[in-house]
Structure 1
Amino acid sequence: MQSNPFLRYGLAAGLLTFASVATASDAMSSATETVSYDSDKTLVLDFHEAAFACLDLREAHKYLSASFIQHDPAVEDGVAGFAKFHASLRSAYPRYSSEVRRAISSGGLVTIHVLQRLNPWERGDVQVHMYRVVGGKIAEHWVAGNPIPATSLNANGLI
């Protein structure tokens, strides 16, 4: 079966045109959105550093909205709920550590991929946290995670 060179070149030209229009459109929308996305991501990373890497509750408070909504079933809503959770974490696990491995931001949502260890001798958990940022404050939080297993059927790992 012979291929039609006009069809092949036409498809290639069409794809190139579509890609250049999409890229130009993305570049224009990114120019206006990058600032807020980057600042949202920075805000969440700064919050995570203060709250979980440094365990500094006073510093962490300034990042949360007054009506902070929590989707983690172990944490109550609001700044007071977060403070209560944070105090129990610091008390129960004084050698707790948390390290952000990846972060991505889009449309007011920031997702971070985190390695968490309650104690330094543990393998730990890998968690994905998603935050909704509104008006320069963290308004909402979701979390999902997995313990790091001793063995795996692949060599990819969770981190």
Structure 2
Amino acid sequence: MTLYLKRLILMVSLVLAGSATAEPAIQARDTSIEEANRQLVLTFYDRFFNRHDIVQAAKVVADDYRQHNPGVPDGKAPLVDYFTGFFKSNPQSRARIVRSAADGDLVWLHVHSTNGKDDLGRAVLDIFRVKDGQIVEHWDVIQDVPGKSANPNTMF
């Protein structure tokens, strides 16, 4: 066997061995659970941010809810307290869900949030983690909707 062939066999063996151990196992998706999680979040979001029925909506929020928005504290009770005050000061606040998706235990919402008919609002990407029928974690990215855009596309 030539030196070249020995090296080639060694390289192929190393590549195959590395790919067998480096690849994570692919888990099958359970789309029925994903859809149930998406519906749970959609219902919560409408009750909470549109109807301002905070206490009823928060029944699906875990007591030890983890919040990644730096302006809102962790926990269900602090979440309810924070938004009770916010909605009292901002009764016209509404959030229109433009699109939603789920993957595993995560649910994404693309939202147009406004505070009255003359408010251009904000584009919001909310990400919720759901576990055992409860919202346990939340992240968001928020961007103001400008009066003028450099292109003809909307943010929605």
**TM-score band, normalised by shorter chain:** 0.7 to 0.9
- Residue 106 in structure 1 maps to residue 109 in structure 2: no
Partner of 2:114: 117
Match of residue 61, structure 1, among 31, 52, 58: 58
- For residue 153 of structure 1, give the secondary structure of its aligned residue in structure 2: coil
Distance in 2 between residues matched to 1:34 and 1:58, nearest whole Å: 29
- For residue 142 of structure 2, give the secondary structure of its aligned residue in structure 1: strand
Match of residue 41, structure 2, among 26, 44, 65: 44
Partner of 2:124: 127
Contact 2:50 2:94 in 1 (8 A): yes
Could you tell me the TM-score, scaled by structure 2's length? 0.80
Distance in 2 between residues matched to 1:148 and 1:71, nearest whole Å: 22
Task: Give the residue type in structure 1 aligned to 2:52.
Answer: L
Distance in 1 between residues matched to 2:148 and 2:96, nearest whole Å: 22
Contact 1:111 1:128 in 2 (8 A): yes
User: Runs of at least 4 residues of structure 1 off by over 4 A?
Assistant: none
Distance in 2 between residues matched to 1:40 and 1:56, nearest whole Å: 20
Distance in 2 between residues matched to 1:121 and 1:85, nearest whole Å: 24
Shift of 1:119: 2.1
Distance in 2 between residues matched to 1:58 and 1:83, nearest whole Å: 7
Could you tell me the TM-score, scaled by structure 1's length? 0.79
CA-based RMSD: 1.5
Cα deviation digits, residues 53-85 of structure 1 (max 9, x gap): 110012111110111000111111101111111
In the alignment of these two chains, the number of paired residues is 131
Shift of 1:100: 0.5
Partner of 1:155: 152
More helix by proportion, 1 or 2? 1
Rg: which structure is higher? 2
Structure 2 stretches lacking a partner, 5+ long: 1-27
Cα deviation digits, residues 15-55 of structure 1 (max 9, x gap): xxxxxxxxxxxxxx35xx01100000000001101100110
Cα deviation digits, residues 110-131 of structure 1 (max 9, x gap): 0000000122211010100000
Partner of 2:11: none
